[in-house]
Chains A and B, each alone.
Chain A
Amino acid sequence: MAEFRMPSLGADMEAGTLVEWMVKPSDKVKRGDIVAVVETQKGAIEIEIFETGVIEKILVDIGTKVPVGTPLATLRTKVEAEAGVKEPAAPEAPAIMPPPIPKPAEAPPIAAALPEVSPLPGRLRASPAARQLAQAHGLDLTTITGSGAGGAIVLKDVEARLASMPSPPPKKPVIGLDLGAMRAAIAAAMARSKREIPHYYLQHQVDVTGCEAWLAERNAARPPQSRLLLGALAAKAVASALRRFPAFNGFWQNGKFEAAPAVHLGMAIAIRGGGLAAPAIHDADRLSCDELMAAMRDLVQRMRFGRIRSSEIADATITVSSLGERGVEALFGIIYPPQVAIVGFGKVVTRPWVVEGIIQPRSILTVTLSGDHRVSDGHAGALFLVEIDRLLQEPEKL
């Protein structure tokens, strides 16, 4: 038997509130399935399970706030299920991956349990997507008749109700997101970063006139949903450059650097009203620009509706932060521990530039690197930025 525990979704998380169970006892689950939704300082996160088996017992009720590491459910793993094993013979392994980051030493001990809300009586059966949509529109689910299995309310029931309503009621910004709590989480992570990580900073100006021309030509022939943005090319260039510069991709853990075997690119996404999160795009170096663009759009969309998965929050091996077309020319990021680098892109500006001896107006993008001096030096950092520049000179090969 194994335990499925409250995961740590970052160095700053101490506890989470269970808001939804997507499984019940005797349900079969496999690695990667979303089994629960947990409310954290980063908003509502879909929690994936890391073992395959059968859910045995639910240990934590909906509405209960518990510390990281608390067993939420028990499950019989596949082997045990096949062998008909009921009771564990040895100490159980945690059902989820161990938290990626050891807690900072100064973190105060957490009380055993932090009950906040009593479990909801007679819970309504509704799919998570249906709940989200209903909540976003301020709809009371009890007023909707479900057409799903066992009378469960599914997405199309909510959509049908919305379609039948005269005008949409005012919407809330992001569901279940406490921006005050998020600010506290950002403060904790950034204060820890500034305390522990000896940052160095580099900047480099990249001529992206060629990228812009290539994008304009390519996008002209495509419908809006398959158009690319410069941000996707920039992200792809970073992911590709990391193959040659592994010292910027990974975690500082237990007093040493461990390079990550895959590139999970954290994308800093501003949240309306003043929040920030950097969920990961998995294996970004192996995605084409089109795939990366689709992944970015999907992430931004899900961020807006509070549908980020646990692995996306905890997995990023490096972060990219882009100011987009508004704002200023350069930003110098603060590394998100336990990562060891953050790449920043400013807004593209038109500048007089000397190309082959002639001054011309060119589109200039400033790329910056904040690096961890425990792991790398400015020399390697400079070469990394130059590699990003080189890759952006040939957008068709990205």
Chain B
Amino acid sequence: MNALDIRTVLREELGNIAPEIDFNSVDPKADLREALDIDSMDVLTFITAIHTRIGLVIPEVDYPKLMTLDGAVTYLSAKLQPR
């Protein structure tokens, strides 16, 4: 899974939570909670969706690393790297 695929997954799953958001206008470095107006329940829904979609269990302590689009891409790319 490359960075482009990861971005697509992120857009789709966040799009399910915030359907009216135009991701082209979201600053990739902005805090997603502010940019998308999502709460802790939405964040958990997003983390759960990532687990379902790509099988990765993200621990709670890592949530802050996924709170921007760029951060999430970096985090997921590193986790999904074949070793």
Interface residues of A (CB under 8 A from B): 168, 170-173, 216, 219-220, 223-225, 227, 229-231, 270, 272-273, 296-297, 300-301, 324-326
Contacts and interface: CB of A to CB of B under 8 A. Distances in A.
A77 B52 CA distance: 45
B51 interface: yes
B6 interface: no
Contact of A272 (B37, B41, B50, B52): B37
Contact of A220 (B19, B34, B45, B59): B59
A304 to B, nearest CB: 8
B54 interface: no
Contacts of B20: 171-173, 272-273
Interface string B19-58: 1100000000000011001011100110110111000011
B44 A229 contact: yes
B15 interface: yes
Given A173-B20, A272-B18, A297-B45, A223 B39 contact: no
A272 B21 CA distance: 10
B44 A224 contact: yes
Contact of B41 (A168, A216, A223, A296): A296
B24 to A, nearest CB: 12
A173 B48 contact: no
7 contacts: A168-B12, A224-B48, A224-B58, A229-B41, A296-B41, A324-B41, A325-B39
Given A231-B40, A272-B37, A297-B45, A223 B57 contact: yes
Contact of B19 (A172, A216, A219, A223): A172
B60 A326 contact: no
Choose among A172, A223, A273 the residue with the greatest number of B CB atoms under 10 Å from its CB. A223
B37 to A, nearest CB: 7
Given A224-B47, A227-B44, 18 more contacts: A168-B12, A168-B15, A170-B19, A172-B20, A173-B19, A224-B44, A224-B48, A225-B51, A231-B40, A272-B20, A272-B37, A297-B41, A301-B45, A324-B39, A324-B41, A325-B33, A325-B39, A326-B34
A296 to B, nearest CB: 7
A378 B39 CA distance: 32
Given A171-B19, A172-B19, A173-B19, A225 B39 contact: no
B60 A219 contact: yes
A231 B40 CA distance: 9
A231 B41 contact: yes
A176 to B, nearest CB: 14
A326 B33 contact: yes
Choose among B37, B41, B44, B59 the residue with the greatest number of A CB atoms under 10 Å from its CB. B41
B12 to A, nearest CB: 7
Nearest to B50: A224
A4 B61 CA distance: 52
B51 A223 contact: yes
